[in-house]
Amino acid sequence: MNWLWAIIVGLVLGVLARAILPGRQPIPLWLTTIFGILGAIVGNAVAGWVGVRHTSGIDWWRHLLQVAGAVVIVALGTPLYASIRGGRRRERA
């Protein structure tokens, strides 16, 4: 069941990150989900380092850090994916 939640949270975070970033991100939905999952992992790690991982009530800081992590990963991963995908297209032509 944890994997299902990771996929759902990753999808939501990835879509939020794509909505926050300006412009178009030409990445598929499966990569958006993976980037969102990685963003959640990075956000949880940063929350642990900062000391806000476990708070009473809703962990707003942790959630904000997860979204920020997803934004950074989508921003860095999109051009990387585009360059890899573009490189493959050039080889075939």
Q: Which tokens in the block code for residue 16?
A: 């939020």
* pLDDT attached to residue 58: 81
Tell me, what's the pLDDT at 87? 59
For position 86, what pLDDT does the model report? 78
Q: What is the mean pLDDT of the chain?
A: 87
Count the residues in the chain.
93
- Where does residue 70 rank: exposed (0-12), middle (13-18), buried (19+ CB within 10 A)? buried
**Which residues in the chain land under pLDDT 70?**
1, 87-93
Q: For residues 81 and 51, is the Cβ–Cβ distance under 8 A?
A: no
Q: What's the pLDDT score for residue 72?
A: 96
How big, in percent rounded to 5, are the helix, strand and coil portions of the chain? 80, 0, 20
Tokens of 43: 């956000």
